[in-house]
Each structure stands twice: as structure tokens, then as C-alpha cells.
Structure 1
């Protein structure tokens, strides 16, 4: 039986195993780490030094040993006051094994339906995480790389074929837009594609260990869309898993179009069905690819933020660029990496917005010009 520690530095506190720690994230001029207690849903941010200490509270190393590692890394040894402050913070939040759980006033349960007739949301399943897990298991044979990668290659080849024949595809789409019956059929299929898009996020999240908090329907009449909320994906240790979860929706859209693309490819050019399929493939391809544009709230923006390890890329870029015009010495205090990322994203997002505005104008000219 081990002896009880007689000094603070002999203690071996342990972080509760379910506590989640994120990788370093850029937050304005600072680098932060997120810490989340999934049991009570609380979260907060700490700096790199605090994360260095908290991540080593494994119950094996003593505070003296961790303090020695800290001194070698940062050139400063922590005193008892520093440790008492940190342990008091963690213990007060109930994050340490053996510390009393923080009393959290139970929030009223979120109603299944929020909002009114014209604008609101409706939760469709009681346990979204379990539903996503069942879908993942059901579709697991199709998620193997030997099936998924060739299918994605065919989906991208289909988009190339549409670009090659864009003149005919645009003409067929213009025909579709003037015929309500086939247009309604196409819109129904595109809405089904959005369902696949949202569920794909949840399936990918379950595949890599992230939780799915809610699956439901959101509407703002006359439009209604599915949604799938994924939680804790920022705490996944591998960046490629975060990117895959964010990209899963657009990839599902491309795969959804694949059987229609094969049907379109075997039809004769004069076949009326081919016109409808051309419009479906063009509109569906735009739906998938626009989601990859790195502007909020699109999936491409989430992917770029994961890639750059930035906590709030768009807002922080805007704040930095405004600071450059008002207080250049303060802006100069940003680290070089932050200055580069925020400047590049601010300029790049402006260019992207201009291109997105110009694209429909160009398409309209191609349709209506003699």
C-alpha cells in the first residue's frame, strides 16, 4: 500500500478520463486549447502552459515530476501557489478524479419543436448518436476504401464530363427550368440529397468517435432542410478525421448523383429524359461543390478552419484586418503565422465572394445570349 503524499509536490492528481482536450487552436493573436466536460457539457479555454500541465495529470506522475518537465520546457519552476491555483480551478469544475462534481443546475430539456409555423426546427429522433451509429453499421460495407474510393473517382469523372459538355448541359437545364413537372421531380431528388448530406456528417462522426447531438428538420418557409449536429469533433486527435467529417456531406452529394450520371451517359442526346437528368446533374453538382467553398457556414469553411487549426477564422480575420487600419502597432503584435493566415483569408474570401456573384451572371449570359 503506497504511502500518502506528505507534500503538495508528491501528490499525483488525475484528470477524469472522459475529459476532452483539443489540439492547439489559433484564437486572434493567442494559441488556446479547449477543455470540455462532456458529462455536464461545460467547456473553457486555456493557454499552452496550462494545457502542458493539465495534459500530464495522469495519476502516474507527481506534481514535482510535472513541474520539472515544465521547468525544462518553459524555463520557470512553479511554486505551491501556482499549483494550488490550477488544482483549485480544476477541482472546482469537477475535472479531477475524486473532486466533487460541480453542481450544475439542470437546464430545461430542449423541446422537440422550436419556433413557429414559418420558422423553426423539429428534432426527429430521440437519440441522434445511436441513430447515426446504426446507420454507420448498416452502411459499413459501402464505407470500405475498396468501394468508396472508386465510387468517388467516378463521381469526380462525372463532374468532368459535365464541364466538357457544359454548353449542352446548360441548354438542357434552361429547358428544365421552364417545365414545372420535371423541375419538381428534380427538386425532390435534390432535397433527398441534402438528407444524405447531413446524415453523412453524422455517420463519419461516429466512424471516428465524435458524438452526434441532434438530427432534425429546420425550416424557414418556403424552404426546409435537414440538419445534423456533430459535437466534440474539435477534440479528435487526428486532423484528417476532422476534415473527413466536414467533407462527408459534399462527398455524399456526389455519390448520390452517380446512378443518375450513369443513366444520363447511356441515353441518346435527343432523349427527353436526358434533359431532365442534365439539369439534375448540374444543379446537384453545384450543390455539392458550393458546399466546399471556404466561406461560413459552408463545409469548406469548416475544413479550412480545421486545416489551419483556427478557432474562429472568419471573425478573427475581420477583427485583425480592422485592427490593421486603426491600430497598426497592435496588429503588428500578432504572431507572424496569425498575420499571414488572417490577411490571406480576408483577401481570399473577398475574391471568392466576387467570383460567386459573377458566376450566376455568367451562366445567365450563356443561357440567354443568342
Structure 2
């Protein structure tokens, strides 16, 4: 009867509220379905989705406030034919539901609540620039794409093949033999910066367009600081959790990269014919496009590539689960119910992935700081 909620930790201690409070599911919480039609609990106040097992959803919906938590656990244990361990699992799960804010009993701010906040933290301060109204702008082109998806898919594939061939040809040409030339005049850097800003905006709009293609609301588009240091743009596509299939999630995750491939093709085409300073600028942009594609497809950071890999594998919150498993191991905390039922080898894989992601993020941070010091003459 173990009923996990994503990234939520709980202890074996039985808090006193289980004897005094009569928990019920908050009336505004919605039970819906997500990947593989697995149950999700949606909190409209926080905007978060909590993944549940089928038994977990049954427990949550059965909480009606008519009995205390301990009475409910005892009844559930008798009904399921379980023993004392089943009763304890239910009690722990009630604590997880409370910490997740899904019950009429508010979170107590203790360790369980801190674990939920840790798991949900994006480590990226955000500043929204455009709200949900952007959907009205994206709906017409999304409707056009729905009319002939195969045609547009074939056209993009042809453009992608040309982009890869063109980039290879440019990098093999004598003009690019010495690597990217950074000695551009002011007008050259103006073009580079302006082009990158436009491309970034279109990259995020591509994610939004893919969301609207599948009927997923776009909450907002904005900018943030990944790991509090790296400037990035983002599209809040949280409601894509409601999509039941893997393919649609992969398309949404890679929509921005698909648009970047077109930019690579465009700059490659210009590089084949441009000469002089502008030719050097075009070659530099080809190098930049390749670097951006490699960075966006990196599965060790919360990038488009990571989200696509997660979707293709049919997993949810892989990084969050990995960090939760690592946190429980390092701090010697009791694992949440979803982790406790996993095999030791599965738990170890979560922990290893968490260590690799943290180490890579540290390397990226050190590289960024070092680059800033060099740029401003500090090193």
C-alpha cells in the first residue's frame, strides 16, 4: 500500500497531530492523470503536481475528515489485510501528504516540509516577462501546424540535414581553420548580441508553440539564473505533466533545439558565400550555434536534452529524486516511501546520478566564475 509522492521525505516517528487532527483532502486539490495515466495531485495554489501511486490516490481521496490520521491508518490496515508495517506506511504517507500541502491540515514546517521544499526547489531565481496571455499569440500558428504536421516535419528534417551538412562544410573550409575569430568590430558584436537575443526569444516561443500544439497551457515566459549564476530564459510548461504519452513530452522538450538547428543552417548558408569581416562573423556564429546545441542537449544539467531524455525514458523528476536519495544518504535521513520500496541498486543509481550532476554543476560554476574573472581582468 506504499503510496509515494515525488521527492517527499518522511520519518518513522508518528507526530502527535495524527491523534488530534482529522485530515481530509483539500477541496481545491485536483486528482488528474499524467504519464502512463498515473495519478497526479494538482495543487492550484502552489501550481505543483505531486505524483501518486494508485493506492496513494485512493488514500488521498478517501480522507474525508471523519476520523483522525491514526484511526484512518488502522482502518486501512484492516481493510487491506496488512500488519503493523502497513499501518506505519500509511501513517508515514499521511505525513508526506501533509508536508506536500494536499491536506486540510497545513504543513507544520518541520523536516518533512523542508524536504518537500528542497525537492521542489528549482535552484533558479525567476523573473517572468510574459504571462499566460502569450497562449493567444501562439494558438494560431499551433493550429496551422496541426493541419499538416507531417509536411512541416519533413520540411524541418530536410532543413536539419542541410544544417548539419552545411556546418560541417563551413568548419572544414579554410576560413574556419584557425577556429572562431573574436576580433570583430563593434557592428559585428552588435549583430552577434542582437541575433542571440532574438534566437533566445524564438527558442522559448518554440517550446510554447509545442505546448499549445498539444493543448498544454503556457503559464509564463521569463528569465532566470540557473544555479543562481548562469543567465537563462525559460518557459513554464509545468502543465505538460498532464500529457499521458512520451512522444509529446519529447517534442515539447526539443522544440527549442529544433528551432536552433534552423539558425545553424541559416548561418552555415551565409558562411558559404560571405567574405571578409562578415564572413568571419558568420563562421563565429556557426561555432556559437554548435556550442549552444551541445549545451542544450547536455543531460547532466536541467536542459532541454535532460528533459527529453527523462520523457523518453518515461521517468519523472529524475534529478529531484536523485538529489532526494543523495540527501537521505548523506544526512542519514529515513527515505520517503517512494524511495524505500526501491531496490538498493536502484537507490544507488539515483545517488550516483545525483553526485555526477552536482559535480558537473560545480565545474560549470567554477568555469563561469573563472571566465568572469578573466573577462574583467581579475585573473
Q: TM-score range by the shorter chain?
A: 0.5 to 0.7
Q: Does 1:209 align with 2:215?
A: yes
Greater C-alpha Rg: 1
CA pair 218-41 structure 1, distance change in 2 beyond 3 A: closer
Structure 2 equivalent of residue 132 of structure 1: 138
SS of the residue corresponding to residue 40 of structure 2 reads: strand
CA distance in 1, matches of 2:321, 2:312: 16
SS of the residue corresponding to residue 196 of structure 1 reads: helix
CA distance in 2, matches of 1:321, 1:225: 26
Matches within 5 A, 1:308-327: 308-321=313-326
Q: Does 1:335 align with 2:340?
A: no
- Is the strand fraction higher in 1 or 2? 1
CA distance in 1, matches of 2:257, 2:204: 9
CA distance in 1, matches of 2:238, 2:280: 41
Among 258, 276, 281, the alignment partner of 2:281 is: 276
| Structure 1 residue 232, shift from structure 2 partner | 1.3
Structure 2 equivalent of residue 189 of structure 1: 195
Structure 1 equivalent of residue 33 of structure 2: 21
Aligned 8 A contact 1:205 1:233 in 2: yes
Structure 2 equivalent of residue 228 of structure 1: 235
Among 254, 267, 278, the alignment partner of 1:260 is: 267
SS of the residue corresponding to residue 263 of structure 2 reads: helix
Among 241, 261, 283, the alignment partner of 2:248 is: 241
| Structure 1 residue 241, shift from structure 2 partner | 0.7
Structure 2 equivalent of residue 158 of structure 1: 163
Higher RCO structure (Cα 8 Å, ≥6 apart): 2
Structure 2 equivalent of residue 175 of structure 1: 181
| Structure 1 residue 51, shift from structure 2 partner | 3.8
CA pair 127-259 structure 1, distance change in 2 beyond 3 A: same
Aligned 8 A contact 2:127 2:222 in 1: yes
Structure 1 equivalent of residue 153 of structure 2: 148
Aligned residues: 290
Aligned 8 A contact 2:127 2:223 in 1: yes
> Structure 1 residues 331-340 or 188-197, which shifts more?
331-340
CA distance in 2, matches of 1:343, 1:354: 17
Structure 1 equivalent of residue 11 of structure 2: none
CA distance in 1, matches of 2:163, 2:81: 58
Unaligned runs of 5+ in 2: 1-26, 62-79, 83-89, 105-124, 371-379
CA distance in 2, matches of 1:284, 1:48: 44
SS of the residue corresponding to residue 339 of structure 1 reads: helix
Matches within 5 A, 1:29-108: 33-36=39-42, 41=47, 43-51=49-57
CA pair 243-341 structure 1, distance change in 2 beyond 3 A: farther
| Structure 1 residue 239, shift from structure 2 partner | 1.0
Unaligned runs of 5+ in 1: 1-14, 26-31, 56-73, 77-81, 95-101, 103-118, 362-370
Structure 2 equivalent of residue 294 of structure 1: 299
Aligned 8 A contact 1:24 1:48 in 2: no
SS of the residue corresponding to residue 35 of structure 1 reads: strand
| Structure 1 residue 214, shift from structure 2 partner | 1.6
CA pair 246-33 structure 1, distance change in 2 beyond 3 A: same
SS of the residue corresponding to residue 181 of structure 2 reads: helix
Aligned 8 A contact 1:177 1:183 in 2: no
| Structure 1 residue 283, shift from structure 2 partner | 0.5
Aligned-residue Cα RMSD (Å) equals 5.1
Structure 2 equivalent of residue 4 of structure 1: none
CA pair 327-286 structure 1, distance change in 2 beyond 3 A: same
Q: TM-score, normalised by structure 2?
A: 0.58
